[in-house]
């Protein structure tokens, strides 16, 4: 192929030489063999004008919406729904203390109340209260900073702002867990230090955003040792997991472990940390690096889908700090209940020992959870829609991925689960076959010995009946 190309060029060159030698340069120009202004080709049409793009305008802010509910969809008869609730309470598979409330979303009408006013152990359905408080106090777009500050030359401090889902590597923008990365923070920090000729530093960590004990005295030691929850801190890597597993052991001191990892990452960026990493204050110091968590809505969604006790406790403490209260267990539970009351939810009889529902001592009425869900589905409070929309969907997501996989409720239930020894709860929304959206809350706090399988299946059966209910009043 290469030889044929060279021969072709020789032929062209010889032809051009003959034409020029005959004095035919003008002709050569006209025939476009030689360079020049003459040509025999037809005159080309003038080109079309270059298209101009329309003026750029800012896109509107995204809004959270629900499909319009059909007000003409038949409302299930209260007598029929009450009969279903009474049967659930009386079912021996539920034990001796169950509360049930069912209400219609569009009207707020209570269709069933079976001992729903009595406070009971909520287990993880208590996370609904914390989620609502985070939305009202902090807002869905708030992010949590992790910063590096320099109090003086040669000394830096890693400051926690509430993100216990840092990545030890680079950040993953599409994820809630791992959204912000220590490698990114270290790169910023190293760049700032090297600009002033610093390559050795002393590193401290400031975790004073939160206060009080990091482990709730109401948590059973076995639950802590099993990895169901971590010590609560204002910064941590991958929720303080020691390895990747649903419930692995957790680092005892998430903030210090994060700072030690950061020292290693800094070394990879050419900055040597001298001495041991310890605690230090970063108040008022010059900021030289910052990464931000995912927006709070994504953090709340993660906590609800995974039923993550640790992240829920972090959210509660952030609500407390927002209110000017101590970022402690007591401050958090006080702030969360105050937010619920401010939103118009009756909190009489409600007690929170922690924000996740794991500690002994919490008690909530099923009616409170139903009222919360009604408020979050109210068109007048669209800012609260994430509390409902981001719940796991039956047969698909999170803690409901393996529930309601068949039957009329499949894909039509959004709910928060709750499980403790002898406690089973479920609260959320269900759409009936007639197209009516209902909220429901079930709390059973004295289920028989034998585990979660039987009471959970019994509650699921009740919700399936609600979904299948063609029991509208004529």
Residue 260 located in a structural domain:
yes
For residue 350, the domain's CATH number is 3.40.710.10
pLDDT tens string 47-78: 666 555 455 556 555 444 445 788 889 999 99
The one catalytic residue among 307, 328, 356, 362: 307
DSSP 8-class letter at 28: H
Residues 184 and 277 grouped into a single domain: yes
Are 123 and 264 contained in the same domain? Answer: no
Record the tokens describing residue 185, joined without a space: 């923070």
Alpha-carbon radius of gyration of the chain = 32
286 in the same domain as 149: yes
Q: Per-residue pLDDT tens for 203-216?
A: 999 999 999 999 99
Mark whether 378 and 423 lie in a shared domain.
Answer: yes
Mean pLDDT, residues 326-349 taken together: 97
Asked if the model's pLDDT at residue 18 lies above 80, the reply is no
* Residues 90 and 199 both lie in one domain: no
Instruction: Judge whether 67 lies within some domain.
Output: no
Does the structure show a pLDDT above 90 at 7?
no
**Active-site annotation holds for 127:** yes
- Give me the pLDDT at residue 46, please: 63
Residues 135 and 173 in one domain: no
Are residue 162 and residue 213 in the same domain, yes or no?
Answer: yes
Of the CA atoms within 13 Å of residue 456, those in its CB half-sphere come to 18
Is 66 a member of any domain? no
User: What confidence score (pLDDT) does residue 148 get?
Assistant: 98
Asked if pLDDT for residue 16 goes beyond 60, the answer is no
Check which CATH number belongs to the domain holding 152 and give it.
3.50.80.20
Does a structural domain hold residue 349? yes
pLDDT of res. 70: 87
Average pLDDT over residues 384-411: 95
Q: Choose, from 124, 293, 367, 425, the residue flagged as catalytic.
A: 124
The reply to whether 430 and 371 lie within a common domain is yes
- Give the DSSP H/E element, type plus range, for residue 279: strand 278-279
In a domain, 318, yes or no: no
Which residues span the domain enclosing 26? Answer: 7-38
Tell me if residue 362 is catalytic.
no
Least confident of 27-36, 238-247, 346-355, 461-470: 27-36
Q: Are residues 351 and 327 in the same domain?
A: yes
Catalytically annotated residue among 127, 293, 328, 362: 127
What is the percentage of the chain residues whose pLDDT exceeds 70? Answer: 85
Q: How many domains does the chain have?
A: 3
Predicted confidence at residue 469, as pLDDT, reads: 85
pLDDT in tens, 440-455: 999 999 999 999 999 9
Domain C-terminal end among 277, 294, 311: 294
Q: What percent of the chain has pLDDT over 90?
A: 81
Q: Annotated catalytic, 167?
A: no
Of 274, 294, 314, which marks where a domain is finished? 294
Write the pLDDT tens digit of every residue in 105-117.
Answer: 999 999 999 999 9
472 pLDDT tier (thresholds 50, 70, 90): confident
Same domain, 228 and 174: yes
Q: Are 152 and 118 in the same domain?
A: no
338 and 453, same domain (yes or no) = yes
């Amino acid at each position: 192929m290469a030889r044929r190309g060279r021969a072709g060029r020789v032929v062209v060159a010889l032809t051009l030489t003959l034409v020029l030698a005959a004095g035919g340069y003008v002709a050569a120009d006209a025939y476009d063999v030689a360079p020049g202004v003459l040509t025999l080709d037809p005159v080309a049409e003038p080109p079309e004008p270059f298209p101009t793009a329309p003026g750029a305008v800012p896109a509107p802010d995204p809004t959270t919406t629900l499909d319009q509910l059909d007000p003409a969809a038949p409302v299930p008869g209260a007598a029929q729904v009450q009969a279903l609730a009474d049967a659930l309470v009386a079912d021996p598979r539920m034990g001796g203390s169950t509360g049930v409330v069912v209400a219609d979303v569009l009207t707020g009408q209570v269709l069933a109340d079976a001992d729903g006013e009595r406070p009971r152990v909520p287990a993880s359905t208590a996370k609904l209260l914390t989620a609502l408080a985070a939305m009202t106090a902090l807002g869905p777009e708030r992010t949590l900073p992790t910063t590096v500050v320099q109090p003086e030359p040669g000394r830096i401090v890693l400051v926690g702002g509430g993100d216990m889902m840092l990545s030890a590597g680079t950040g993953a923008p599409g994820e809630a867990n791992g959204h912000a990365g220590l490698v990114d923070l270290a790169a910023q920090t190293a760049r700032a230090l090297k600009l002033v000729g610093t390559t050795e530093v002393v590193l401290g960590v400031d975790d004073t955003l939160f206060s009080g004990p990091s482990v709730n005295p109401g948590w059973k030691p076995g639950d802590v040792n099993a990895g169901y929850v971590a010590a609560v801190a204002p910064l941590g890597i991958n929720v303080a997991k020691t390895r990747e597993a649903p419930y692995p052991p957790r680092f005892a001191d998430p903030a210090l472990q994060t700072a030690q990892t950061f020292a290693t990452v800094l070394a990879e960026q050419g900055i040597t940390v001298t001495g041991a990493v310890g605690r230090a204050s970063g108040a008022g110091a010059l900021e030289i690096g910052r990464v931000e968590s995912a927006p709070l809505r994504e953090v709340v969604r993660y906590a609800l889908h995974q039923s993550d006790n640790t992240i829920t406790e972090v959210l509660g403490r952030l609500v407390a700090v927002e209110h000017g209260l101590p970022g402690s267990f007591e401050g958090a539970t006080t702030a969360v209940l105050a937010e619920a009351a401010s939103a118009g939810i009756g909190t009489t009889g409600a007690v929170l020992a922690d924000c996740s529902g794991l500690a002994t001592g919490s008690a909530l009425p099923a009616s409170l959870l139903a009222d919360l869900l009604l408020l979050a589905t109210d068109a007048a409070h669209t800012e609260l829609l994430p509390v409902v929309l981001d719940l796991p969907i039956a047969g698909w997501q999170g803690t409901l991925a393996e529930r309601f996989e068949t039957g009329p409720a499949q894909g039509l239930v959004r709910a928060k689960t709750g499980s403790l020894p002898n406690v089973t709860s479920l609260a959320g929304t269900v759409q009936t076959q007639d197209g009516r959206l209902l909220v429901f809350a079930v709390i059973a706090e004295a289920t028989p010995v034998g585990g979660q399988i039987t009471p959970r299946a019994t509650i699921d059966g009740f919700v399936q009946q609600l979904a299948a209910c063609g029991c509208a009043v004529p």
